[in-house]
Structure 1
Amino acid sequence: MNNIIPENERAIWILKHEGEKTLKELALELGITTEGARFQLLKLSNDGLVKSESRALGRGRPQQFWTLTQKGHAKFPDSHSELTLRLINKIKENLGEDTLTQIISSTGKDNLQNYRKTITETDSLKEKVKKLAELRKSEGYMAQFEENEDGDYLLIENHCPICAAATLCQGFCSTELNTFQAILGPNTKVERVDHILAGARRCAYLIQEK
């Protein structure tokens, strides 16, 4: 469990990591009764950290689905966001967009070199994706990977620790995508299928062998 989140707010971590949940689903994952889960969710709701939506699924009573609010997402750190935004704006003002683009590109090259210390060309695609997920997780992206029935992979990042910077300058996002493509190799196709900046709760990348 992420030690940023207090014990009495574990539901926040689950909703961040796994997305929306019903009361029963949360109670099961928390290992407590539905009443205990309801108490925790109502407290978090009163604090403005979670919200619920009533949704009808076929016959029967509508179910309540719980998700994080913007304030809830903010419980997870965005790496030095205020300082980062100031620096980006200063670079734009004093050195121009081209210089900012060069700096972001250089950062991407540094990340690629760092990843290559762990991920080698002789690794299988599965090994590469697994190692990449572990590296991204260590960087604060709450990353994991899944393999589907077709043998394709999904790299999932449930949190973006540079979201504020990426919102201001989406060059960060395109550089990340290029870095993934480079580290996974020319025989691999990498496609972003979920994007936090487009309103998704996470970023996700479909990875396929060509």
Structure 2
Amino acid sequence: MNNSIPENERAIWILKNEGEKTLKELAQTLGVTTEGARFQLLKLSNDGYVKSESRAKGRGRPKQVWSLTKKGHSKFPDTHSELTLRLINKIKEHLGEDTLTELISSTGQDNQQHYRNAIPEEATLEEKVKKLAELRKEEGYMATYEQHGNGDYLLIENHCPICAAATICQGFCDTELNTFQSVLGPNTNVERVDHILAGARRCAYLIQEK
């Protein structure tokens, strides 16, 4: 948990990192009573940061689940979004789409080299995924990874600090996927299974050995 987050906004950090939760689940994660968690959520709801909805599952009573609103997600800023969007539009306007594509590709190559310098080629797949997650976390992607029982891995990015730029130029997302594939090696398959731009709360990549 991020200790820089104010105590009365810890629920925002949890919902951003772990997705929607019931009141009971959130109380357990916060380490408070359900009444304490409810108090926080109602305050955050009144401020427009969180929302709740009833979710029916099976024959039991519907559960009330809590998640972030658009305003809640905006607590985790898009790095220099306004300036970035202006620059992208100016490049398109004055230099053309092809030049923008070349610039994004060149940046992707720089990232590949940076990651390769930090990730030993002889490392195991898990070591590579773990280090990649650490690097992405340092860059503001709130990244982590999970190991599945079948030997697959899931690289999870709970935040996208370049979301505004990626929204108007899909090339950023395509370049990131190619970068991951290149860095993790030819014997690895990388597939994006969750995408923020497609409406998911996070971006996630399934990583498998071929």
TM-score range, shorter chain: over 0.9
- Quick one: distance in 2 between partners of 1:71 and 1:170? 23
Specify the SS of the correspondent of 1:117: helix
> Is it true that 1:174 corresponds to 2:159 in the alignment?
no
Equivalent residue for 1:31? 31
Deviation of the 1:3 alpha carbon: 5.1
Tell me which moved more, 43-52 or 1-10.
1-10
Q: Deviations over 1:151-172 (max 9, x none)?
A: 0111000110000000010100
Specify the SS of the correspondent of 2:112: helix
- Whether the 8 Å CA contact 1:11–1:41 is kept in 2: the answer is yes
Structure 2: which amino acid aligns with 1:67?
S
Aligned length: 210
Equivalent residue for 1:201? 201
- Quick one: distance in 1 between partners of 2:170 and 2:4? 27
- Quick one: distance in 2 between partners of 1:163 and 1:103? 17
Specify the SS of the correspondent of 1:88: helix
Note the 1:105-184 alignment, pairs <5 A: 105-184=105-184
- Quick one: distance in 1 between partners of 2:3 and 2:176? 27
- Whether the 8 Å CA contact 1:55–1:64 is kept in 2: the answer is yes
Specify the SS of the correspondent of 1:104: helix
Structure 2: which amino acid aligns with 1:106?
S
Q: Deviations over 1:146-200 (max 9, x none)?
A: 1111101110001100000000101000000000000000010000000000000
**Superposition CA RMSD, Å:** 1.0
> Is it true that 1:19 corresponds to 2:10 in the alignment?
no
Equivalent residue for 1:85? 85
- Quick one: distance in 2 between partners of 1:142 and 1:131? 13
- Quick one: distance in 2 between partners of 1:92 and 1:121? 37
- Whether the 8 Å CA contact 1:4–1:76 is kept in 2: the answer is no
Deviation of the 1:58 alpha carbon: 2.9
Equivalent residue for 2:65? 65
- Quick one: distance in 2 between partners of 1:107 and 1:58? 48
Deviation of the 1:118 alpha carbon: 1.0
Moved over 6 A (4+): none
Percent identity reads 82
- Quick one: distance in 2 between partners of 1:57 and 1:10? 27
* Structure 2: gaps of 5 or more residues: none
Q: Deviations over 1:79-98 (max 9, x none)?
A: 00000000000000000000
Deviation of the 1:116 alpha carbon: 1.2
Q: Deviations over 1:6-27 (max 9, x none)?
A: 2210000000000000000000
TM-score, length basis structure 2: 0.98
